[in-house]
């Protein structure tokens, strides 16, 4: 895997919206977070445009992305928000350009499709983490959310343990492999496409928001039938928030996870505060990682190299 360079004081970050349009007032409130780090901020030319539920046309969003990748001054690309739209760009991205200009790419939710596609086609480590208009602009943002960005300033090995949140073991064991994944809905939507998520020998991370239990059931079933669960080395379950059953006869989320994951011949652990939650802890994707249910830890190698 390619590793982007760590950021240093005076570097420029680019903020773009490859999915839905951000609230520009919220985005403006988040920018001082980066300038206080000593970073400069460049905003995509088309970021304020709106085309239906998209932040401009596919061509405009794609242009912003490619411009930030090619811009030698820009050392990191921070996605303003998720929503919907990133998968529409996947087949038109210039992966050779991305591989020849490896830089930090940071976001989550709908950006999962971008993570998967870039890892598959360019081999670049990317970051699943809180976004400016979605998270950083919140007045009650958790310090642990903000602290996630420090991993971009120097090569840092991360260890998620019960010091951060309570973790539950669904299946015991220890496994090592590259960390892949993100939003469950987006991961499932890659199946059968040229960007199909590769879980073979990898630790699969999943999270989601605003989905009914039967929808989670359906998506896990699709991952099971496609072999993606059995092929994995381990499964780490992140935040599943605002999940509402449609009736009193619904299965609980714990029952669904137990049905699909507890009999797998690999370690499974839940409770990671990563995803649509607060705190929302950022992690590198594509790096070697180890999950150990005895110590209840998920250890990750650094996502950047020395500048």
Beta bridge partners of 52: none
Average pLDDT over residues 202-230: 97
Residue 306: burial class (beta carbons within 10 Å; 0-12, 13-18, 19+): exposed
Give 178-191 pLDDT, tens digit per residue: 999 999 999 999 99
The C-alpha angle 159, 103, 72, rounded to 5 degrees, equals 155
- % of the chain beyond a pLDDT of 70: 99
Domain 12-142 classified CATH 1.10.460.10? no
Per-residue H/E/C for 184-241: HHHHHHCCCCCCCCCCCCCEEEEEEECCCHHHHHHHHHHHHHCCHHHHCCEEEEEEEE
Q: What is the CATH number of domain 158-300?
A: 3.50.30.60
- Confidence (pLDDT) at 6: 98
Name the average pLDDT for the chain: 96
pTM value is 0.97
The C-alpha angle 298, 262, 222, rounded to 5 degrees, equals 95
Alpha-carbon Rg for the chain in angstroms: 18
Average pLDDT over residues 292-306: 98
Give 72-113 pLDDT, tens digit per residue: 999 999 999 999 999 999 999 999 999 999 999 999 999 999
Does the pLDDT at position 247 exceed 70?
A: no
Confidence of residue 239 (pLDDT cuts 50, 70, 90): very high
Domain with CATH 3.40.50.10740 in the chain: 12-142
Give 131-185 pLDDT, tens digit per residue: 999 999 999 999 999 999 999 999 999 999 999 999 999 999 999 999 999 999 9
- Confidence (pLDDT) at 155: 97
Active site residues: 109, 207, 276
Helices (H), strands (E): how many in the chain? 9, 14
- Confidence (pLDDT) at 307: 85
Domain with CATH 3.50.30.60 in the chain: 158-300
Residue 264: burial class (beta carbons within 10 Å; 0-12, 13-18, 19+): middle
């Amino acid at each position: 895997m390619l590793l982007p360079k760590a950021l240093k004081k005076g570097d420029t970050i680019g903020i773009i919206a490859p999915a839905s349009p951000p609230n520009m007032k919220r985005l403006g409130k988040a920018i001082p977070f980066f300038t206080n780090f000593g970073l400069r901020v460049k905003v995509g030319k088309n970021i304020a445009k709106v085309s239906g539920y998209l932040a401009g046309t596919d061509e405009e969003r794609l242009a912003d992305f490619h411009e930030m990748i090619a811009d030698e001054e820009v050392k990191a690309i921070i996605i303003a928000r998720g929503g919907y739209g990133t998968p529409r760009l996947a087949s038109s991205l210039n992966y050779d350009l991305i591989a020849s200009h490896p830089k930090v790419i940071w976001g989550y939710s709908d950006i999962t499709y971008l993570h998967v596609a870039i890892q598959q086609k360019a081999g670049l480590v990317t970051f699943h983490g809180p976004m400016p208009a979605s998270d950083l602009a919140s007045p009650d943002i958790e310090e642990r959310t903000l602290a996630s960005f420090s991993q971009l300033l120097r090569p840092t090995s991360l260890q998620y343990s019960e010091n951060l949140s309570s973790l539950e073991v669904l299946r015991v064991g220890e496994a090592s492999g590259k960390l892949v994944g993100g939003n469950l809905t987006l991961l499932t939507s890659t199946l059968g496409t040229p960007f199909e998520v590769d879980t073979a020998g990898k630790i699969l991370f999943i999270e989601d928001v605003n989905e009914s239990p039967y929808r989670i059931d359906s998506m896990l079933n699709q991952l099971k039938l496609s072999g993606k669960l059995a092929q994995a080395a381990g499964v780490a379950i992140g935040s599943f928030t605002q999940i509402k059953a449609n009736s009193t006869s619904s299965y609980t989320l714990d029952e669904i996870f137990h049905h699909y994951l507890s009999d797998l011949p690999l370690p499974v652990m839940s409770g990671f505060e990563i995803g649509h939650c607060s705190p929302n802890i950022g992690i590198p994707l594509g790096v070697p990682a180890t999950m150990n249910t005895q110590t209840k830890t998920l250890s990750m190698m650094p996502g950047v190299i020395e500048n």
